[in-house]
Chains A and B, each alone.
Chain A
């Protein structure tokens, strides 16, 4: 008697509006989510150093970071809620199909989010109410549950790339196995890459801001300590990221060859495929122009064999191609900026290892300052590769994005409304943070201070 709501005729512009809204919401939320993973680590390190050394500047640092984190976490929490609803508001058929299969990691993420929110409340409002040890422990729990949230959410996304844990029967999933759906080939590479990215991006953003301020005021003890804590978190992650990227690339080459081909602008299937640096793919002509080609580079990187065969886009019908140009350019941005961050991180580590004062190396400070926004740009670009590279599928190879969208017409309206809302919020957040970050305390390091070298 009753059936599914109307399968109306959904126009392509509605699909595009829905994709734009989802993309915009994710792009907005990911920044705050990443800060929520990285900042607690920085705060806990700073507070522990204060606890250990009695150096009050570290306490000041932890408190100032906590203030910024409170603002960013709140926006992250509400924009994350928007996303959980948008899964249904924009992609109800996707959730009808996949809810029972990938609800599990979302349920676990729910509890991780709970723990994060509870202990962040304890941390932010509990400075004078609980003992220092308990306070640091609360911060540590925030850091752990923040990372756990990311793990679970990325596991759910990995399922969209490499769907497992069910069988298809007459177009519907049967024999659902939520555990198998969590252990997909994409899960480990994606989770590793994202968690490292969160630490690298947050660490470098904070380090970059303080490096910039040190360039103006090189003896400021506050910024020196901030830089050292931020690099401690950001630099190792940035150095590890290319290796994690290699794992990701090999998984994509094996399980999502069309995505790899788009990322690399590889139209032909060939042995000993070159690695293209830069370049602009021309889908109509089926070639990538103006790229610097490193012979056999792609085969080597993707399969660890210079003669391996790389599947090109020509192996797929054009209706199954992702938007090649967007994916390729985003991939180049991610790899390029990520490489720059890794080199700067290595530079900083070498300086520190040679017991030099990073705060006095003006060229290194400049490089770190330039790298400040790069981690976040890399994350946006990387998610563009993952998400746009999976198109035209919402569940790779099984459900098309256009078939998952809501039948409600006029989706451009919510897209515009939420975009305006997020631009407004983003502007406010930048304004509030800049006002409070740039008001730096005037704390000049004494002229001779040998102990500073031990601060790493």
Chain B
């Protein structure tokens, strides 16, 4: 165990923890957009209103987790940031367009327009951007996990023998990566609907999101299964990591237990339990990936140690994180206490 707690490992772990927070909080905000798009039935407008109300005060704060991931990556593991930026330029740039349109459209809808037609148009853009962005994030993660990025770093590519497509498209446009993209979307939608069951003030609205959560749970299960089949069937670096390590089996069991627990809790209408279980499930899936490719940051090419910044930088960053956490966590607790303390009462904001 001792050898695991090196400075580079700790910072890699904290970077992933920030990604985990982004997925749990920012991810759910994107999931909210998905349910805005899929709003249906007689309570369609109330569903949309609940989503807007739930996301409004917190999405910008939740979004900063992503910025923190980027900053930690380029501070502590600069070569990894450089390499991913080069080879995943296209999906990351598309993801950024999604991020820009999602945030802007959401705000324009909340603040800008009084006309219904105009609000609907911004709502549509917000929802579509919320749908595409998680897929592109998932594709990028899938491209790393599958070894697509790592393989594109082989020296034969460096000699200039590769085409544009081989270098800048092939690493990420694979069945596996796209599968992970869809999985990310399903997980974010699942998180959002489960969170919304807790936040809904109205019994029927809660029931709407309970049904949606159960469908989303099923979707997660199906997509995860398909992704697993693709991983085992194609030559990726995921298969061995997922199955070989000593901790792998207990880890998968824990993930499965969390998933079933979430479904049971939804079934039994224990919504707070369901929220905890869903968050645990998504967290375990994320760490299953992270630990599965340990000690690589970009398998099979770049390890944590090989990419780590000088010790002094890592040390100082650790201090900065400790200091920042002392400001951040009380602030976040305050924010969530104000806006998530009790179910939404549907007050319109000023």
Contact A125 B57 (CB under 8 A): yes
Interface hit among B66-74, B178-186, B192-200, B205-213: B66-74
Contact A110 B111 (CB under 8 A): no
Shortest beta-carbon distance, A110 to chain B, in Å?
5
Q: Which residues of B contact A8 (CB under 8 A)?
A: 160
Contact A93 B324 (CB under 8 A): no
Contact A75 B107 (CB under 8 A): yes
Shortest beta-carbon distance, A372 to chain B, in Å?
22
Shortest beta-carbon distance, A266 to chain B, in Å?
37
Q: Which residues of A contact B82 (CB under 8 A)?
A: 4, 88, 92-93, 95-96, 99
Asked if A118 lies at the interface with its beta carbon under 8 angstroms from chain B, I say yes
Shortest beta-carbon distance, A5 to chain B, in Å?
5
**In the complex, A299→B203 CA distance in Å?**
76
Asked if A407 lies at the interface with its beta carbon under 8 angstroms from chain B, I say yes
**In the complex, A418→B100 CA distance in Å?**
10
Asked if B253 lies at the interface with its beta carbon under 8 angstroms from chain A, I say no
**In the complex, A97→B75 CA distance in Å?**
10
Contact A410 B164 (CB under 8 A): yes
Q: Which residues of B contact A407 (CB under 8 A)?
A: 86
Which of A2, A121, A428 contacts B153, CB < 8 Å?
A2
Q: Which residues of B contact A417 (CB under 8 A)?
A: 93, 97
Asked if B50 lies at the interface with its beta carbon under 8 angstroms from chain A, I say no
Contact B158 A125 (CB under 8 A): no
Contact (A107, B71) CB under 8 Å given A2-B301, A432-B112: yes
Q: Which of A87-115 contact B (CB under 8 A)?
A: 87-89, 92-93, 95-101, 103-104, 106-111, 113-115
Which of A2, A121, A406 contacts B154, CB < 8 Å?
A2
**In the complex, A9→B159 CA distance in Å?**
11
Which of B153, B301, B324 contacts A110, CB < 8 Å?
B324
**In the complex, A98→B75 CA distance in Å?**
8
Contact B301 A106 (CB under 8 A): no
Q: Which residues of A contact B10 (CB under 8 A)?
A: none
Asked if B321 lies at the interface with its beta carbon under 8 angstroms from chain A, I say yes
Contact A108 B320 (CB under 8 A): yes
Q: Which residues of B contact A75 (CB under 8 A)?
A: 103-104, 107
Q: Main secondary structure on chain B at its contact with chain A?
A: helix
Shortest beta-carbon distance, B86 to chain A, in Å?
5
Nearest chain A residue, comparing its CB with the CB of B161: A6
Contact A85 B71 (CB under 8 A): no
Asked if A363 lies at the interface with its beta carbon under 8 angstroms from chain B, I say no
Shortest beta-carbon distance, B298 to chain A, in Å?
9
Q: Which residues of A contact B283 (CB under 8 A)?
A: none
Interface band, chain A: 35 or more
Which of B84, B106, B302 contacts A74, CB < 8 Å?
B106
Contact B68 A74 (CB under 8 A): no
**In the complex, A100→B61 CA distance in Å?**
25
Nearest chain B residue, comparing its CB with the CB of A8: B160
**In the complex, A408→B103 CA distance in Å?**
28
Asked if A124 lies at the interface with its beta carbon under 8 angstroms from chain B, I say yes
Asked if A290 lies at the interface with its beta carbon under 8 angstroms from chain B, I say no
**In the complex, A125→B334 CA distance in Å?**
13
**In the complex, A120→B64 CA distance in Å?**
13
Asked if A73 lies at the interface with its beta carbon under 8 angstroms from chain B, I say yes
Q: Which residues of B contact A114 (CB under 8 A)?
A: 61, 64, 68, 324, 327-328, 331
Which of A77, A121, A130, A178 contacts B58, CB < 8 Å?
A121
Contact A126 B71 (CB under 8 A): no
Which of A6, A111, A179, A414 contacts B327, CB < 8 Å?
A111
Q: Which residues of B contact A77 (CB under 8 A)?
A: 60, 63, 103
Q: Which of B310-350 contact A (CB under 8 A)?
A: 310, 312-313, 316-317, 320-321, 323-324, 327-328, 331-332, 334-335, 338-339, 347, 349-350
Shortest beta-carbon distance, B345 to chain A, in Å?
11
0/1 string, A268-283, CB within 8 A of B gives 1: 0000000000000000
Q: Which of B86-116 contact A (CB under 8 A)?
A: 86-87, 89, 92-93, 96-97, 99-104, 106-108, 110-113
Asked if A243 lies at the interface with its beta carbon under 8 angstroms from chain B, I say no
**In the complex, A425→B113 CA distance in Å?**
15
Q: Which residues of A contact B331 (CB under 8 A)?
A: 114-115, 118-119
Asked if B79 lies at the interface with its beta carbon under 8 angstroms from chain A, I say yes
Nearest chain B residue, comparing its CB with the CB of A66: B350
Contact (A406, B89) CB under 8 Å given A71-B112, A95-B78, A104-B317: yes
Contact (A118, B332) CB under 8 Å given A5-B158, A84-B67: yes
Contact B74 A117 (CB under 8 A): no
Shortest beta-carbon distance, A113 to chain B, in Å?
5
**In the complex, A66→B313 CA distance in Å?**
39
Residues of A that sit less than 8 Å from B by CB: 1-9, 63, 66-67, 70-71, 73-75, 77-82, 84-85, 87-89, 92-93, 95-101, 103-104, 106-111, 113-115, 117-122, 124-130, 176-179, 406-410, 414, 417-418, 421, 425, 428, 432, 435-436
Known interface pairs A85-B92, A120-B60; 19 further A-B residue pairs with C-beta atoms within 8 A, sorted by A's residue number: A2-B302, A3-B158, A6-B160, A8-B160, A71-B107, A78-B99, A81-B66, A100-B76, A103-B71, A104-B317, A104-B320, A110-B324, A111-B324, A113-B64, A114-B331, A121-B57, A121-B61, A408-B89, A432-B112
